[in-house]
Amino acid sequence: MLKTPLAEEHEKLGARMVDFSGWYLPVQYTGIVNEHTAVRQACGAFDTCHMGRIMVTGSGSGDYLSAVVTVDAANMPVGRCRYGFLLNNDAGIIDDLIVYRLAHSEFMVVVNSATHDNDLVQLRQHIKPGVKIEDVSSSMAKIDIQGPLSPEITSKTLAFDLTDLRYFQTRIVSFRNSSIIVSRTGYTGETGFELYVPTGLIAEIWTTCLKHGATPSGLGARDTLRLEAGLPLYGHEFSTDVTPLEAGFMRYIDLQRSFIGSETLRMKAKSGPARKLTPFTIEGRQSARNGNAAIIGGEKAGFVTSGSFAPSLGYCIGFAYLDSDMSANSNTFEIDNGRKILNASVSKTPFYKK
């Protein structure tokens, strides 16, 4: 397994460690519900070093990225982050990602860990002269600080006032003669920050933010938080078998632009998606899980991509792909969890609202 620079810190805290896509990471420290609640009510800190960070720089880097991902990088302001997709020619999702414009010709693309290698292959395959691609994932560590108290705690940790950094803005903060990239972004549905820190400084930054009151939080809470916030997870809601059209993410895409997959997407948008990513709730505490069959009128109509008990809500939530025709007139459907049939109601995201 690959270890993050914070592996020893997690062990010191007695975290339960697991193999997450080949990475040695904490699933929990004190308990998933505890950590989830800490993030919702105060502040939690997550080791997210396993994610990929790719620098795209040089003359024409903006135009290059605009042609390769769905984000119009060439036309975004410096100091801003934008969410989008890396698609293949069939408009299948290779990854979902965030593009950071750090300077006119300097971009950082933040990607998922399991898809990192495939992303680099695709980016390099379409490289243009003058553009430089550098994978900085091992020299740059990453942590997320999330929760209502995160502006204060992050500011104290970096000895720099970040309380006015706006949502999806990014800036570079000087810390001990090094540069730390900070963005007001996250994966929890709370106010929060993502910090990109030179590897040599990360243990200090981590322990400092815990000292200022952040609760160390693991992958288990990260998943319940993102699901409550209605956020998709690659490998569950997204894969190369799925287009942003089926997933319902077209609001992030400008179909007037040209990028890899745009032609196919324009064509598919004309006829509408054959299946739709559908948020649902289940009364009670018995959860649906990834892979469970969704049933409408006694027939298989799709499958669950994510499901869990929602600690901040007290009932169960999830996502499922449902056949568009079969689900057109129902706002309920059934889920076979392998032991019994659960009754699901079509819902809206976010599941949890502040």
Partner 1 sequence: MIPADLKYTKSHEWVRIDGNSATVGITDFAQSQLGDITFIDIPSINKPVKAGDSVAVVESVKAASDVYAPVNGTIAEANPELADCPEKVNSDPYGNGWLCKLSNVTMPASSNLMTPAEYEKFLENGAE
**What DSSP state is assigned to residue 51?**
S
Residue 217 near residue 45, CB atoms below 8 Å? yes
User: N- to C-terminal Cα distance for the chain?
Assistant: 37
The answer to whether 14 contacts partner 1 (rule: CB under 8 A) is: no
The answer to whether 23 contacts partner 1 (rule: CB under 8 A) is: no
Task: Give the contact letters, 40-59, x = binds to partner 1 (CB under 8 A), - = no.
Answer: --------------------
The answer to whether 226 contacts partner 1 (rule: CB under 8 A) is: no
Give the binding range for partner 1 (CB under 8 A) out of 31-39, 65-73, 195-203, 240-248.
Answer: 31-39
- By beta-carbon proximity to partner 1, the closer residue of 13 and 127 is 13
The answer to whether 286 contacts partner 1 (rule: CB under 8 A) is: yes
- By beta-carbon proximity to partner 1, the closer residue of 251 and 340 is 340
The answer to whether 311 contacts partner 1 (rule: CB under 8 A) is: yes
The answer to whether 176 contacts partner 1 (rule: CB under 8 A) is: no
Contact residue for partner 1 among 285, 300, 332, 343 (CB under 8 A): 285
Closest approach of partner 1 to the CB of residue 343, in Å: 15
The answer to whether 84 contacts partner 1 (rule: CB under 8 A) is: no
- Which DSSP string do the residues of 93-147 spell out, in sequence order? EEEEEEEEEEETTEEEEEE-TTTHHHHHHHHHHT--TT-EEEE-TTTEEEEEEES
Closest approach of partner 1 to the CB of residue 14, in Å: 12
Closest approach of partner 1 to the CB of residue 83, in Å: 27
Strand extents, DSSP E, 125-273:
132-135, 140-146, 170-175, 178-183, 192-198, 215-216
The answer to whether 308 contacts partner 1 (rule: CB under 8 A) is: yes
Three-state secondary structure call for residue 354: coil
Q: Is the previous residue joined to 244 through a cis bond, with omega within 30 degrees of 0?
A: no
Give the binding range for partner 1 (CB under 8 A) out of 111-119, 267-275, 286-294, 298-306.
Answer: 286-294
Q: What's the CA gap between 53 and 20, in Å, rounded?
A: 18
The answer to whether 80 contacts partner 1 (rule: CB under 8 A) is: no
H or E segment at 45?
Answer: strand 44-47
User: What residue ranges bind partner 1 (CB under 8 A)?
Assistant: 27-28, 31-34, 220, 224, 284-287, 289, 308-309, 311, 337, 339-340
